[in-house]
Amino acid sequence: MKINWGTGIALFYITFVVVLVAVVIQSTTYDNSLVSDDYYADDLNYQQQYDKLANSRDLPEDLSVRLQIAQEWVELVFPSGLDRAAGEIFFFCPSDSKSDFTVAVQPGDDNRQTVPVTGLKPGLWRVKVDWQAGGKSYYKEVVITI
């Protein structure tokens, strides 16, 4: 079968339209949600975040965040020598914002706090600890893999 130039052009345009429609349909099913709903406000408040990071670097003993896989919890060890810590621990899952959750900072007398991670979606998690002690604010972010 011989195809003349008119039929070739028509087949080209038909194929182009079909591919274009397929790409448009696929793009409407893609979840393009932002990492943060308030990204503009977060950007304006970054100086406060930077000050918290600087305070954290100045601590003689750093906040320790460790994943204990066998016990299925995350252990946070706050620096000793500071007043009682308060704040929040935010567990952020980059692949699924519906899995994110927040826990209040409530260390025991030994400056340790454990957070159970049973039932969490396997994968990469960011543990963001925003806490205050001794009249200053601190921040630490650690990546864990469950």
Residue 10 has pLDDT above 90, yes or no: yes
Q: What is the pLDDT of residues 98-144, one digit of tens each?
A: 889 999 999 988 889 999 988 888 889 999 999 999 899 999 999 99
Burial of residue 116 (CB within 10 Å: 0-12, 13-18, 19+) is exposed
Instruction: Say how far apart CA 19 and CA 21 lie, in whole Å.
Output: 5
Residue 33 has pLDDT above 70, yes or no: no
Q: Which CATH architecture has domain 39-145?
A: Sandwich (2.60)
Residue 90 has pLDDT above 90, yes or no: yes
